[in-house]
Structure 1
Amino acid sequence: MTELIENVEKFIEADSNNSKDEVKEEYAYLEKGGFSSENFKIKIQGLPKFYGIVELKKLMNETLGLNVSKIKRLKQSSKWSFACFQNEEERSKAIVALNGYFWKGKRLTAEKANPAPDPLVRKRKQDEINQDVIDKKKKDMENKDQEERLRDVTTPCWRIPYDEQLLTKQKVIIDLLKKYENEIWLKNPARRSEIEAKRKLFNGLTFELMGIKSSPVTEGYRNKCEFNIGYDEFKELTVGFRLGKYNKGNICVVPIRTMCHVSEPMKKAVMLFQNYIRQSKLPPYSAVDYTGHWRGLMLRHSSTSDDIMMIIQFHPQSLTEEQLGEVKKDLIEYFSKEDAVACGIKSLYYEHVKKRLPGEEPSKPIHLMGPTHIVDSILGLQFRVSPEAFFQVNTKAANILYQQAIDLSEVKSDETVVDICCGTGTIGLCFAKYCNKVFGLDSVAEAIKDAKANAELNGIKNCEFFAGKAEQILSTVLERTSKDVVAIVDPPRAGLHMRAVTQLRNTRNVKRLVYISCNPDTAMKNFVDLSRQRSKTLRGAPFVPVRGVLVDMFPHTRHVELAVLFKREEEPESSNVASEINSQESKELKEDFYSFVY
């Protein structure tokens, strides 16, 4: 009997040790070297119902003097979030600063939070325990091919006839614009009768929305693609698109051979690179244990010349400079061969991609061989494209979009065009022959260099470009303009900063504005602020939408470009309230401007 009890106790102890080992495995990533955001984490509770991640991060870093690395907000709760730090000292400092702090009328509390288990390890263990789950997944894989599933994710409308795609996109945007107009109706009581009258005239909208313009090409239209490197379902090293998410326990990479939006020259270049890394002695980077080297591949393809630029993303790990030199030398040798030339690979870059510390600048691509740029064409102009430059992903459709923007603007030869978020100057340079002067501004200094080079490349003399954030230098740029200004706004997906919108509203000589958006949903806030009635902040007369057009830049997806012409409402000549700008604010903006220019 005693022996039986001892055996049972040993069994229980062994089982307990196994359970501890399993739990430890889920947290092994914390001990594998390198910084993990899970090491020093806190939980912040009592947050207000409505707040933004950027807003909370600004409170912590700027107002409270903390050094938060990352904020994680769970979808199921808006009243608490996780915040991650670099070390225990910074975490403790944050807990002291946040506990009892009042923010937006709410008293915050903070406490230490345990790290999250590795979702991939947990998922694998669950699959090992539950064989039924594995069998079901295998059956599902047999029923639906992975490449087909990838097409459903990347180009979800690929099964729908193209004409039907266009009609669906148009309906979605019309419904979105109706919501915008409802908000304007609520915020502008004096204009309600006018809004209702216009809706009767324009089929439910207050302005004319012209029919959607189709893309000239619907297959292989993308001129830029970023590819993942990893293993497919058969454990073959693959270059393609990742299907699934790490936090769901799935990082399978699927080949892109059936992707309808990737061009054939790009597919050949991907296969060539895949063959290279399969022969390489260096392993691919692993998101599980942070080992390995090959991280990703970016390709840019000129629709004019068919030239391809290849940017290879590589994690150096602990390789010496001499060893890294050998990697670069090998890449140059391989992509100088006949097969690579036949694929159209003309330009080769190499980029170190590794986890950055807060405040650390990202690495820049290193040029290895061929020309430093490829050249593409829009509306008869030549544009050089660098590795990091913004360039519309569908070149053929960009011709239509830019011509529509010119037509919408009603620009005259004696007017000035201000191109806000100008990127490499494509829109402004296309406007140049229709107006007296073009001023372009963008926050990316490299893009401004490209814009100036593109002006020189095309022999255009009436364009000037400035580096700086729109909200910081727009006011001073506008002061350089002539009496009548047409503003062109083509911001990132998040939209234009409110301070820039305010400056447009308060600068009286901006008569018309063409707003181009690849994400109309987020653009609606800018639309509302441009159109809302005067206030202490928005002193200038509001802009009113007059005409709009949709251009399909992204066939087989749900995305579409929207361009809308806004005109400023008339105001009495005696009223100077719209042109007054706070002198102190103007002085600060000038200082910001000149610091960027000089």
Structure 2
Amino acid sequence: MSVEKNKFYEMTITDIGTNGEGVGKINDFVVFVPEAITGDQLEVKILKVKKNLAYGKIEKILSPSPRRSEVTCEVATKCGGCQLQHMSYEAQLEWKQSKVYNALTRIGGLKDIEVLPTLGMEAPAHYRNKAQYPIRKENGKVQIGFYMSRTHKVVDWSTCGIQDKRCEQIIEIVRNFLEVNNISIYDEETHKGLVRHLMIKTGFYTGEVMVCLVVNGNELPHSDKLLEALHAVEGLTSVLLNINKAKTNVILGHEVKVLEGRDYIIDTIGDLKFKISALSFFQVNPEQTKVLYDKALEYAELEGSETVWDAYCGIGTISLFLAQKAKKVYGVEIVAPAIENARENAALNDIHNAEFFVGKAEEVIPEQYANGLTADTIVVDPPRKGCDQALLETLVKMNPKKIVYVSCDPATLGRDLGYLDQQGYKVEKVQPVDMFPHTTHCETVVKLVK
């Protein structure tokens, strides 16, 4: 017996899916319900029915789960940013632990593994140091916010519980500037209009602030008025224009113009300083980045005599952490400006035993291995798609004693660990770290030993 579309049913949520949605059964039919949590007893309306499953929405909470948390964000149900606000923080951490375990056992086929409890934050609020806001115009009003879930419709907001509080002040200044000076706003459909996005980066420990407007042109009219208004922002260090004239969903273009100040801000992780430019990648939760990198360093077990490769090294954050304990570190990254930053960061921290290569990790490392460059320990921190197969094959050929895998996607982590396990690398420790509280994303550090 199935369920019918647009009908109402009572059900109990028994599990949570990989995207954070509640899962339960009605008449032995699996039903997915967003914003529901294990233990909720609900009345749901069925929105879509497929062959073996259905999707519903909460019509009424008949009996809330003890793990349910009060949602205080005014745009929580519209904005696609924080999918787990309705879940207590303790429940979020446990769910992320089980998400990693399920990916490693089901996708990776790993057996007899232990996933340690997720390392969470003491105060999981206002933790982000970077925000990218699309800017649109609706009914003559400038909208600055985040995209509504699964759409390109902007949810305008005044406060956000996970961004730096100064973002609210900057948004108001930018919105007022655009409206008062009648600056044209970009339209995705027609590719007309000037201002596309607002990006804000903040130094969590230094307090420095970068404001960057992304424009479909070369100049910003009346920019002197914007600069004058932005002087009210505490810590303002860098005001930039990013030129992006491409008809694309990619937010940033390659060209950056300085309107005022430096073209970068500085922040610290532990004892190390890092230059962060508009185009460079830097972890968005500095407090938990220190936790993540300390764990990677602990798993590398360096004694001072080792040669280490850091694949997908970005601006050299993990490389420089490792260089404090290793004999020599080689970093590789495909983004040329990031490698420029990595070299600058090594100089900034007076570190001389780190060398950086521009290129694809899966090409540079095999090439250098063929030239006789081996490694005792290899650290990989790939993008969401995981490691390239050619890189994994080279890792195995290089025969390091240890591999430390830092992952932002449990599914591709499971796949890659499954391969390495078959090649003789045993998973010794798996540590999830909550870099993104209130969202479904989870970072993991894994120690593998030959």
TM-score, normalization by structure 2: 0.78
The one-letter code matched in structure 1 to 2:102 is: D
Residue 325 of structure 2: aligned partner: 434
What is the Cα deviation at residue 372 of structure 1? 1.5
Q: How much is the aligned-residue C-alpha RMSD, in angstroms?
A: 2.4
Structure 2 alignment gaps of length 5 or more: 1-72
What is the Cα deviation at residue 456 of structure 1? 0.2
Residue 401 of structure 1: aligned partner: 292
Do structure 1's residue 172 and structure 2's residue 62 form an aligned pair?
no
The one-letter code matched in structure 1 to 2:407 is: S
Q: Name the SS for the 2:255 alignment partner.
A: coil
The answer on whether the counterparts of 2:312 and 2:361 sit within 8 Å (CA) in structure 1 is: yes
Residue 135 of structure 2: aligned partner: 229
The one-letter code matched in structure 1 to 2:421 is: S
Q: Name the SS for the 2:266 alignment partner.
A: strand
Query: Percent of counterpart pairs with the same letter?
Result: 27
Counterpart CA distance in 1 for 2:187 and 2:342 is 38
Do structure 1's residue 450 and structure 2's residue 332 form an aligned pair?
no
Compared with structure 1, are the counterparts of its residues 230 and 362 closer, same or farther at alpha carbon in structure 2 (3 Å cutoff)?
A: closer
Residue 270 of structure 2: aligned partner: 379
Residue 565 of structure 1: aligned partner: 447
Deviations 1:176-212 (A, max 9, x none): 2221453x5xxxxxxxxxx5xxx2xxxxx2xx43221
Deviations 1:279-317 (A, max 9, x none): 12332112233321111111111101222111211112x
The one-letter code matched in structure 1 to 2:265 is: I
Q: Name the SS for the 1:337 alignment partner.
A: helix
Which of 277, 284, 297 is the equivalent residue of 2:198?
A: 297
Counterpart CA distance in 1 for 2:121 and 2:371 is 37
Counterpart CA distance in 2 for 1:335 and 1:356 is 26
Runs of 4+ in structure 1 over 6 Å off: 480-483
Residue 238 of structure 1: aligned partner: 143
Larger radius of gyration: 1
What is the Cα deviation at residue 483 of structure 1? 6.7
Counterpart CA distance in 1 for 2:373 and 2:244 is 45
The answer on whether the counterparts of 2:216 and 2:245 sit within 8 Å (CA) in structure 1 is: yes
Of Structure 1 and Structure 2, the greater strand share is in 2
The answer on whether the counterparts of 2:265 and 2:276 sit within 8 Å (CA) in structure 1 is: yes
Compared with structure 1, are the counterparts of its residues 440 and 244 closer, same or farther at alpha carbon in structure 2 (3 Å cutoff)?
A: closer
What is the Cα deviation at residue 445 of structure 1? 0.8
Q: Name the SS for the 1:221 alignment partner.
A: coil
Which of 407, 410, 415 is the equivalent residue of 2:301?
A: 410
Q: Name the SS for the 2:401 alignment partner.
A: strand
Counterpart CA distance in 2 for 1:483 and 1:254 is 50
Counterpart CA distance in 1 for 2:196 and 2:436 is 26
After TM superposition, the structure 1 = structure 2 runs for residues 516-555 of structure 1, keeping only pairs within 5 Å, are 516-533=406-423, 542-555=424-437
Residue 37 of structure 1: aligned partner: none
Residue 156 of structure 1: aligned partner: 83
The one-letter code matched in structure 2 to 1:222 is: R
TM-score, normalization by structure 1: 0.60
Deviations 1:121-168 (A, max 9, x none): xxxxxxxxxxxxxxxxxxxxxxxx9723234x2101112221111111
Task: Count residues in correspondence.
Answer: 376
Residue 189 of structure 2: aligned partner: 288
Do structure 1's residue 265 and structure 2's residue 166 form an aligned pair?
yes
Structure 1 alignment gaps of length 5 or more: 1-144, 185-194, 200-204, 317-323, 534-541, 569-598
More relative contact order, 1 or 2 (CA 8 Å, 6+ apart): 2
The answer on whether the counterparts of 1:419 and 1:441 sit within 8 Å (CA) in structure 2 is: yes
Which of 134, 143, 155 is the equivalent residue of 1:254?
A: 155
Residue 26 of structure 2: aligned partner: none
Residue 213 of structure 1: aligned partner: 119
Compared with structure 1, are the counterparts of its residues 479 and 267 closer, same or farther at alpha carbon in structure 2 (3 Å cutoff)?
A: farther
What is the Cα deviation at residue 216 of structure 1? 4.4
The answer on whether the counterparts of 1:284 and 1:293 sit within 8 Å (CA) in structure 2 is: yes
Q: Name the SS for the 2:196 alignment partner.
A: strand
What is the Cα deviation at residue 278 of structure 1? 0.9
